[in-house]
Structures are given as C-alpha cells and as structure tokens.
Amino acid sequence: MKYIKFDLKYNHICPALDVDDIDIKFEYPKNYNNGDLAINCHSLVKQLEKSSEQIAQDIRIALQDIDYVKEADEYNGYVNIKLSTEFLMFHTIAQEVEFENKVTLPTIQIWRTIKYNNPDYNTGKTAKDIKKLIWEIYEI
C-alpha cells in the first residue's frame, strides 16, 4: 500500500490542494464496505486553513479520474477510497513476489476466481467477496 499512498499523495492530492507536501494521514476503514483507504481531513484544517468538508471535496474531485480508484466519497470531513479489485489483486501479487519471492496458492486461487468468474473484475458479488477475502488473508 506504500506505493498507492505515495502516488495518491504526491501525484494527485498535493497538486489538487496546491501544496508541495502535506501530512496526510491514511487510515484503513473499520468496515471494508466503506472503502480500502480513508483520509481524515480534520487533521489538515490548520495546515490548509480550510474546512475539513472543503478539503474532503477537493481531494474527492482529485481522485475521480484515477484509473485504479473505483470510487471516492466524502463524508463528514473524511474521504473514503475504494480501489478497483483488479488493481488491488495485482498489488497483492506484486507485494508477495517482491517480499517473499513467491506467489502463494491462496493468491492464485483468488486471482482465478476474479478472472474467470467475473470478467468485469469490479462489479458483482464475486468481486466483493474476493475483496473481503483479500482483507482477511493479507490484513490490508
């Protein structure tokens, strides 16, 4: 997830907020249905001198056109980010190969389920079930 956070922060969020760097706190939602990542905009209020709702709106707009972001919602000064299932799976496999120099059988089985049972990757019950399973196995 480090690559994703870095890309979101420096290539999308900072330019949208017109800053070079900012102390963004990425969080993992307690309920995976709320997304894969969340940004608490309340911590950015003093740095940017804007309301948390305005910051959240600016960030949401900046994330709309990113190909691996399936959806970005703002709510009460938070931005919830849902990543595309295909991207999340590729990221998980790449992480396994990079750190363990192997791809485990559960990952291969998950990938086959996504690829062959749900060609759209991002919709349908199978993709949601797979995302939940990825969360449980890898504690992403």
Class in CATH terms, 2-83:
alpha beta
| Chain region(s) in the chain for CATH 3.30.1360.70 | 2-83
* pLDDT tens, N- to C-terminus, the chain (140 residues): 677 888 889 999 999 999 999 999 899 888 878 888 999 999 999 999 999 999 999 999 999 989 889 999 999 999 999 988 777 777 766 665 555 555 555 555 555 555 555 545 444 445 556 556 655 555 54
Please give the model's pTM, rounded to 2 decimal places: 0.68
Q: Any residues with CB less than 8 A from the CB of 2 and at least 6 apart, and which?
A: none
d(CA 61, CA 28): 20
pLDDT at residue 41 in the model: 96
